[in-house]
């Protein structure tokens, strides 16, 4: 068990008669890359704003590294980096000047600032454009500059709100790599995104928020097993004519955990790849097997299951 | 806060906005000084006192005085420097980044206000110094210590007057999300206070104390007392009165009727000592300071209490 970085207790935010976040209990440990998921308007951004102390909760508490976000916002902001979904830089300044401003706002020691900026610009691969105006930078570059902007204060906790939206595939990889690098440096990362494959690629834990509630939380592998009915794989078998008598023999195949039929297809949850055995059962029963698909649990499936349930 | 102040200051100094304003004001100041110097020989007699101050107040023929130009330009400069102080940060997405830094929220608005004010003060001091220098060189009459004191206070009041307009512009930049709206609101209010307030004050005074050819001096004085009182709601009037009291030592009252009366009794053209002029202008000065403080206080509380929900 690592140190607890984020802890909320019955955190609630209501405004104009609408409850954006409803008695949220969240706990995130040091060193995690936490995928914070949920439909638009589920309350992710509101939760983040409360954790940083920019918005006051209606009730409940939010703590970052033991500091109360509402009562000690300055201490929290000193150890937290927040990259909002829609952020901007001073367009008529250079990346270097923008970073210098952030460094000064964070009271970094004067003598170290230039060196820190140079190192960071190299890390996010912006050394080439360090002295161009920000207005001349591409979207991907600006996004990497955004990463550098929160990195510069060496925070313990980092919030990234949709850092990959609108970026080309190579740019996305660059940003994901930077996020992993940040985590390796000991920063805990909270990664909000709708790009589930990206989340699955780098996140160690996920939490799914729907209508202000946390509907699922844990390592992806565990949630995946729950979502696919206990098994790690989900096999979809398509037969020419559906036959309800097929289900029972398949259930008896060792390793099959659950069978559902819908129309002409059968959805089978199992612990390992049992395509061969299942195909044999179907063919032996006299049905015609048309096609078969196997899928390892995907975050998309987990997400859909939980966000629908809520 | 010092980081924000320094950055804002550097931004202003590097901006085209600042350059344009500075040269505009400089041009107007030179023009006004030139005409004042052209006309100064006509009004000055060997017994005239305070010749140096006349460079600032003298208008000749088609031209206007330096004082008038300054009264016109101070609100424009202040509005131009402050109208988008907060809402431009919001639109550009910098505000959310800024507010998630470990700084007190008020240092954002304080730093911006003070940086704008510093630039404004710089422009005013520079222009007044240039005009004074030109006057000294061309007219050749050095200012007396009384005149220097008057000029220093004139500069100070000009900066305070600018602070009012800057506070107002910053207030609108907090209230309105779009900088177009905030500049329109600022300019609109300025036009109203600068141009229409006098007209309205006159109209109200006319209905309350109508004047005709048979009106006695007392009635006339009463009429102007009322229009003056209403006009003083506008900081433009306050500034005009305060500066004229300081730069025209002969001025003993702001009521035209009373000035006329003193002409009859022969008290005209007796200059007041500096402390008496300052006393005359004191209520106006306090009024401007109070208005500036109110504007700044409102924008301060609005900005501090604003909840950041989605940025």
Q: Please indicate whether residue A208 or residue A245 has the higher confidence score (pLDDT).
A: A208
Q: Read off the pLDDT of residues A226-256 as tens digits, 9 standing for 90 and up.
A: 766 666 777 888 888 777 778 888 888 888 8
Quote the distance between the C-alpha of residue B107 and its chain's center. 26
Residue A278 has pLDDT above 90, yes or no: no
Chain A residues with a Cβ under 8 Å from any Cβ in chain B? 15, 45-46, 49, 52, 54-56, 74-75, 77-78, 80-82, 84, 86-92, 101-102, 104-107, 149, 153
The kind and range of the H/E element at A39 are: none
Which pLDDT score, from 0 to 100, does residue B265 have? 64
Cross-chain residue pair B97–A15, CB shorter than 8 Å: no
Cross-chain residue pair B101–A105, CB shorter than 8 Å: yes
Show the low-confidence residues of chain B (pLDDT under 50).
311
For an interface test with B, the pick among A105, A134, A149 (most B C-beta atoms closer than 10 Å) comes out as A105
Contacting residues of B for A82, CB less than 8 Å apart:
96-97, 100
Bridging pattern class, strands A157-161 and A80-83: parallel
Which of A87-91, A118-122, A157-161, B215-219 comes out lowest in average pLDDT? B215-219
What is the mean predicted confidence (pLDDT) over A135-142?
92
Instruction: Report CA torsion sign: B4, B9, B14, B18.
Output: positive
Contact at 8 Å (CB) between A145 and A124? yes
The ipTM of this complex is 0.81
Q: Which B positions 35-94 lie with beta carbon below 8 A of chain A?
A: 92-94
Q: Where do we find the tokens 């019955």?
A: A10
Contact at 8 Å (CB) between B209 and B219? yes
Q: Within an 8 Å CB–CB cutoff, is residue B4 touching chain A?
A: yes
Q: Read off the pLDDT of residues A169-195 as tens digits, 9 standing for 90 and up.
A: 999 999 999 999 999 999 999 999 888
Instruction: Quickly count: other Cβ atoms within 10 Å of residue A216's Cβ.
Output: 22
d(CA B58, CA B50): 12
Q: Give the CA radius of gyration of chain A.
A: 24
d(CA A148, CA A151): 5
CA distance B89 to chain A (A): 9
Cross-chain residue pair B102–A105, CB shorter than 8 Å: yes
Which pLDDT score, from 0 to 100, does residue B266 have? 57
Write down the mean pLDDT value for chain A.
87
Instruction: Quickly count: other Cβ atoms within 10 Å of residue A215's Cβ.
Output: 19
Which pLDDT score, from 0 to 100, does residue B311 have? 47
The SS3 call for residue B1 is: coil
For an interface test with A, the pick among B15, B17, B100 (most A C-beta atoms closer than 10 Å) comes out as B100
Where are chain A's structural domains?
4-220, 228-297
Contact at 8 Å (CB) between B81 and B120? yes
Instruction: Quickly count: other Cβ atoms within 10 Å of residue A206's Cβ.
Output: 25
d(CA A55, CA A52): 8
Q: How many CA atoms lie within 13 A of B103 on its CB side?
A: 27
Cross-chain residue pair B101–A49, CB shorter than 8 Å: no
For an interface test with B, the pick among A74, A101, A152 (most B C-beta atoms closer than 10 Å) comes out as A101
Find residue A260's DSSP bridge partners: A267
Q: Read off the pLDDT of residues A293-309 as tens digits, 9 standing for 90 and up.
A: 887 777 777 788 777 76
Q: Which listed CATH number (3.40.50.150, 3.40.50.11540, 3.30.420.10, 3.30.70.100) goes with A228-297?
A: 3.30.70.100
Q: Within an 8 Å CB–CB cutoff, is residue B102 touching chain A?
A: yes
Instruction: Report CA torsion sign: A88, A90, A96, A102.
Output: negative
Contacting residues of B for A106, CB less than 8 Å apart:
101-102
Which pLDDT score, from 0 to 100, does residue B50 have? 76
Q: Which CATH class is domain A4-220?
A: alpha beta
Q: Please indicate whether residue A221 or residue B104 has the higher confidence score (pLDDT).
A: B104
For an interface test with B, the pick among A52, A53, A87, A165 (most B C-beta atoms closer than 10 Å) comes out as A87
Bridging pattern class, strands A256-262 and A4-15: unpaired
Q: What are the residue ranges of helices labelled H in A53-157?
A: 73-79, 95-105, 110-123, 139-151
């Amino acid at each position: 068990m690592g140190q607890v970085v984020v802890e909320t207790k019955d955190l609630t935010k209501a405004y104009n008669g609408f409850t954006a976040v409803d008695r949220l209990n969240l706990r995130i440990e040091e060193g995690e890359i936490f995928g914070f998921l949920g439909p638009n308007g589920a309350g992710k951004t509101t939760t983040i704003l409360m954790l940083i102390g920019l918005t006051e909760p209606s009730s409940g508490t939010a703590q970052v590294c033991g500091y109360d976000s509402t009562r000690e916002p300055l201490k929290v902001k000193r150890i937290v980096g927040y990259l909002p979904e829609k952020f901007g830089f001073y367009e008529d300044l250079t990346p270097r000047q923008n970073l210098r401003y952030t460094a000064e706002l964070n009271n970094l020691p004067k003598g170290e600032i230039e060196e820190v900026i140079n190192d960071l610009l190299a890390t996010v691969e912006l050394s080439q454009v360090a002295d161009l105006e920000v207005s001349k930078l591409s979207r991907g570059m600006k996004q990497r500059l955004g990463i550098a902007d929160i990195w510069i204060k060496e925070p313990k906790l980092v919030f990234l709100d949709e850092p990959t939206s609108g970026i080309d595939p190579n740019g996305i990889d660059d940003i994901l790599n930077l996020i992993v690098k940040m985590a390796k440096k000991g920063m805990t990362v909270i990664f909000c995104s709708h790009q589930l494959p990206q989340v699955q690629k780098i996140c160690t834990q996920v939490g799914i928020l729907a209508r202000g509630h946390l509907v699922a939380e844990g390592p992806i592998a565990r949630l995946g097993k729950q979502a696919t009915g206990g098994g790690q794989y989900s096999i979809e078998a398509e037969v020419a004519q559906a036959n309800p008598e097929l289900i029972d023999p398949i259930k008896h195949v060792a390793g099959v955990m659950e069978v559902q039929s819908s129309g002409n297809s059968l959805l089978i949850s199992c612990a390992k790849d049992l395509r061969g055995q299942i195909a044999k059962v179907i063919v032996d029963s006299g049905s015609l097997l048309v096609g078969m698909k196997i899928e390892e649990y995907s975050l998309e499936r987990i997400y859909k299951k939980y966000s629908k349930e809520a | 806060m010092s980081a924000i102040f320094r950055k804002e200051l550097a931004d202003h100094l590097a901006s085209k906005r600042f350059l344009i304003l500075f040269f505009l004001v400089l041009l107007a100041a030179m023009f006004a000084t030139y005409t004042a110097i052209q006309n100064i020989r006509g009004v000055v007699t060997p017994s005239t006192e305070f010749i140096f101050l006349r460079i600032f107040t003298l208008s000749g023929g088609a031209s206007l005085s330096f004082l008038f130009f300054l009264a016109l330009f101070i609100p424009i400069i202040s509005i131009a420097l402050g109208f988008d102080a907060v809402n431009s940060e919001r639109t550009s997405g910098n505000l959310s980044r800024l507010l998630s830094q470990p700084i007190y929220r008020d240092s954002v608005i304080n730093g911006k206000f003070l940086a704008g004010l510093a630039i404004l003060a710089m422009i005013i001091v520079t222009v007044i110094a240039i005009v004074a220098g030109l006057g000294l060189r061309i007219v050749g009459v050095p200012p007396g210590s009384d005149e220097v004191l008057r000029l220093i206070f004139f500069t100070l009041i000009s900066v305070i007057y600018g602070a009012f307009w800057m506070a107002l512009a910053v207030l609108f930049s907090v209230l309105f999300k779009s900088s177009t709206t905030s500049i329109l609101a600022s300019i609109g209010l300025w036009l109203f206070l600068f141009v229409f307030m006098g007209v309205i004050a006159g109209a109200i005074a006319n209905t309350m104390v109508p004047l005709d050819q048979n009106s006695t001096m007392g009635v006339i004085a009463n009429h102007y007392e009322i229009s003056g009182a209403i006009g003083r709601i506008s900081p433009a009037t306050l500034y005009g009165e305060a500066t004229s009291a300081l730069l025209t030592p002969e001025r003993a009252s702001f009521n035209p009727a009373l000035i006329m009366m003193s002409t009859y009794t022969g008290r005209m053209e007796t200059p007041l000592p500096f402390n008496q002029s300052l006393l005359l202008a004191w209520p106006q000065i306090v009024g401007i300071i109070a208005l500036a403080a109110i504007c700044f206080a409102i924008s301060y509380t609005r900005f501090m209490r604003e909840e950041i929900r989605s940025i």
